[in-house]
Amino acid sequence: MRDVAVVTGGSAGIGLAAAERLARGGRAVAILAREPGRLEEAAGMLRRLGSPVLAIPADVADAAAVDAAAERVERDLGPIGAWVNNAMSTVVAPADRITPEEYRRVTDTTYLSQVYGTLAALRHMKPRGRGAIVQVSSGLGIRAAALQAPYCAAKFAVSGFTDALRTELIADGVKVSLTVVYLPAVNTPQFGWARNRTGHEQEAPDPIFDPRLAAEAIHFAVENPRREIWVGRSTVMMAIAQALAPALADRQASSFKEEQLGAPMGYRPGNLEEAPPGPARMDGRFGDRVKAARHEFFTSRQRDAAKLGGLGLLAALGAVGATSVLRGVRRLLR
């Protein structure tokens, strides 16, 4: 029996790219999304790769619908070995121009959907003592930016939930992996689907990456579980800036407001409440600006090794030069 992977938001963009990569890797794939026509088109694309595919129309903000989808996957495809929480929505607008209902809906679709997907997967994985759960997050879940308050808050919440759950799994000896994948700007249709109150088309800030790079990182997380994965150099720089100089990072992130504003346009309701029609495609409108990187992602294991190397270097330098450093400090204090 083939290993089975579930991908939410699997009918377009990163979700479709991830489902394709998992299918090419030999897994049976179940994709969840709201728009039935696009979902079936995506399923047809995946079936051509030769793997079993199950398309389930579902709003992942509905916990009961997610549970029912998991039950159907187990019944029709087999035991779930991997679950990728990818679905999201956002509102592009200043924080004080976003309604309470919009904050709630973004929270439901971008944060709580990952909670519901994770819990549904765990109900099946924990008794078997194996499985991989991947949370698709964003660099904006490390370093927040203007015009994205609900989305940033939801992605920060995903990290908190995942860290808390991971400690419980460790304490209970449960061999189910949890990985958070932090993404940069990615060339997907989402930039044309988001609810937008700015009066301008939303632009993606450079550098922009291929959704297939995100899919490679997700596939890696399933096959080689890591605590965290950062995709793209910009995500790494955001994490470093936030850790070392958060006030400076605030000022740098403030420029993101202008970078997002493109050509004038009217209000767009977007996909917050209803999925818009459109084809099953991975790529958005920024193809001419996409960085040609297919393996540019960095894992927490690499980060930890770099930290240990840095500590070793500091220790060596300290053993050699501590006296001269102290002399220099004394001179500055005179």
pLDDT tens per residue across all 334 residues of the chain: 579 999 999 999 999 999 999 999 999 999 999 999 999 999 999 999 999 999 999 999 999 999 999 999 999 999 999 999 999 999 999 999 999 999 999 999 999 999 999 999 999 999 999 999 999 999 999 999 999 999 999 999 999 999 999 999 999 999 999 999 999 999 999 999 999 999 999 999 899 999 999 999 999 999 999 999 999 999 999 999 999 999 999 988 887 778 889 999 999 999 999 998 899 999 999 999 998 777 789 997 776 555 445 445 445 445 444 444 334 333 322 3
| Bond from prior residue into 189 cis (ω within 30 degrees of 0) | no
The reported pLDDT for the residue numbered 240 is 94
The reported pLDDT for the residue numbered 305 is 55
Task: Report the b/e string of 150-167 with b at 16+ CB within 10 A.
Answer: bbbbbbbbbbebbeebbe
Its CATH architecture, for the domain 4-295, is: 3-Layer(aba) Sandwich (3.40)
Q: Which residues are catalytic?
A: 151
CB 31 within 8 A of CB 10: yes
The reported pLDDT for the residue numbered 325 is 35
Find all residues with CB under 8 Å of 327, minimum gap 6, and list them: none
pTM (whole model) above 0.85: yes
Helix (H, G, I), strand (E, B) or coil at 24: helix
CB 202 within 8 A of CB 262: yes
* 233-244 vs 246-254: helix crossing angle, rounded to 10: 130
